[in-house]
């Protein structure tokens, strides 16, 4: 290690989350890592979050935003004032294990090519189940749909240690994501045009384009409530997920792969709309259409962001594609009825292609 205990800045973004704050800050103050800077960035809450943290947690540094900047800009404001060699973006609706920092910093310090990492994320209310928003790290399939090592669509696996190896992933969950601060200077911050959801996937993609690795480190553990801001069944979340997923594809795929994949993706998303209408989930179908409407009215913005992302690329597309699953999770999940990550058709071949390796860390 180059430093025994480099400074780690934990940035907790909050908006009207007073009911979660005792769990997150009590657990952070019980962490055994000796060099933490804890920052709460408040998105102009209308509850008493700021007063509560000011009175109860004097060690926590508070930054108050002028308005609700949502996830992307809100976290960016925290990143700008963080002093750590490493920065962790942490949701307010989590509880962390006492040693959740050490395994991740150990693996960062052991490999200077690692730009980001995430812990194992378990369900707060069912400690034996992997959590919907993070599980053990994320990937994209051939069509650009995101999925998790431990969760496909709405089915989340129980945790029996099946994903307890530290492996390379495509994206780390925004519920808890660690960055090397120098990495963010290299690739830029979260894209504020995303506002909510998928911005961590976009940022991780930009890391891949510039040669950084992203790891799942399951020896680090946190527990996440999930849905602290938006429920997974919210039409607004569906809107942002579809809108921002296509946004990320347009920004980060090469021109050839974008032209190859987008027509198929449009067709699959149309099926999703028709299916929503068929089962009388009209709000969900309309949310998808609203997401596409936003994209159509912001073509110049999409082009501008694509030019910016591609201008930083130093890695050939064929190398980036090694981290993208070569099959379709839509087909495998709904047609083949494969509901576990380890049951996917190309599971073994895919991990071998990633250079699957045993964890260099001991289980804690």
Work out how many domains the chain is built from and give that number. 1
**8 Å CB contact between 24 and 4:** no
Rounded CA-CA distance 278/282 in Å is: 9
Domain that holds residue 302: 235-326
* 275 falls within a domain: yes
With respect to residue 229, please indicate whether it lies within any of the assigned structural domains.
no
Q: In this predicted model, what pLDDT tens digit does every residue of 174-200 receive, in sequence order?
A: 999 999 999 999 999 999 999 999 999
Q: Please name the residues in contact with 138: beta carbons below 8 A apart, sequence gap of 6 or more.
A: 146, 147, 148, 149, 169, 170, 171, 172, 173, 201
- Scanning the chain, the segments in alpha helix (DSSP H) are 18-29, 49-56, 70-81, 102-110, 181-187, 199-209, 235-252, 255-278, 282-296, 299-311, 317-320, 329-334, 347-353
Residue 125: inside a domain:
no
Assess contact for 344 and 350: CB atoms under 8 A.
yes
- Asked whether residue 8 is assigned to any structural domain, the reply reads no
pLDDT in tens, 55-95: 999 999 999 999 999 999 999 999 999 999 999 999 999 99
64 bridge partner residues: 42
pLDDT category at 349 given cuts 50, 70, 90 is: confident
Is the pLDDT confidence value at 319 over 60? yes
Residue 256 in domain: yes
Instruction: Tell me, yes or no, whether 243 lies in a domain.
Output: yes
- Asked whether residue 285 is assigned to any structural domain, the reply reads yes
Examine residue 32 and state whether it is found in any structural domain, yes or no: no
Contact 241, 233 (CB under 8 A): no
* pLDDT for the residue 232: 61
């Amino acid at each position: 290690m180059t430093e025994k205990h480099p400074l780690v800045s934990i940035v907790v973004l909050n908006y009207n989350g007073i009911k979660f704050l005792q769990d997150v800050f009590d657990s952070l103050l019980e962490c055994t890592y000796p060099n933490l800077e804890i920052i709460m960035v408040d998105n102009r809450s209308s509850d008493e979050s700021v007063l509560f943290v000011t009175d109860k947690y004097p060690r926590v540094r508070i930054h108050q935003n002028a308005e609700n900047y949502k996830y992307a800009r809100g976290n960016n404001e925290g990143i700008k004032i963080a002093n750590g060699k490493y920065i962790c973006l942490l949701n307010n609706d989590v509880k962390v294990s006492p040693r959740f920092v050490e395994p991740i910093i150990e693996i960062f310090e052991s490999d200077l090519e690692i730009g980001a990492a995430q812990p194992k994320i378990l369900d707060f209310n069912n400690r034996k189940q992997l959590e919907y928003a993070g599980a053990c790290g994320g990937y994209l399939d051939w069509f650009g749909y995101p999925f998790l090592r431990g969760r496909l669509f709405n089915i989340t696996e129980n945790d029996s240690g099946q994903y307890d190896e530290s492996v390379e992933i495509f994206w780390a969950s925004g519920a808890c994501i660690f960055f090397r601060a120098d990495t963010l200077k290299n690739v830029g911050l979260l894209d504020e045009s995303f506002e909510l959801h998928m911005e961590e996937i976009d940022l991780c993609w930009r890391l891949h384009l510039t040669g950084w690795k992203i790891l799942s480190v399951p020896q680090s553990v946190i527990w996440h409530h999930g849905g602290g801001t938006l429920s997974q069944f919210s039409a607004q979340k569906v809107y942002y997920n579809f809108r921002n997923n296509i946004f990320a594809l347009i920004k980060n795929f090469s021109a050839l792969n974008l032209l190859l994949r987008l027509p198929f993706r449009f067709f699959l998303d149309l099926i999703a709309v028709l299916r929503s209408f068929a089962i009388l989930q009209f709000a969900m179908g309309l949310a998808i259409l609203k997401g596409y409407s936003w994209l159509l009215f912001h073509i110049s913005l999409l082009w501008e962001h694509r030019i910016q992302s591609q201008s930083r690329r130093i890695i050939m597309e064929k190398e980036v594609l090694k981290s993208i699953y070569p099959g379709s999770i839509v087909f495998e999940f709904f047609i083949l009825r494969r509901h576990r990550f380890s049951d996917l058709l190309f599971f073994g071949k895919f991990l071998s292609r990633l250079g699957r390796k045993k964890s260099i860390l001991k289980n804690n």
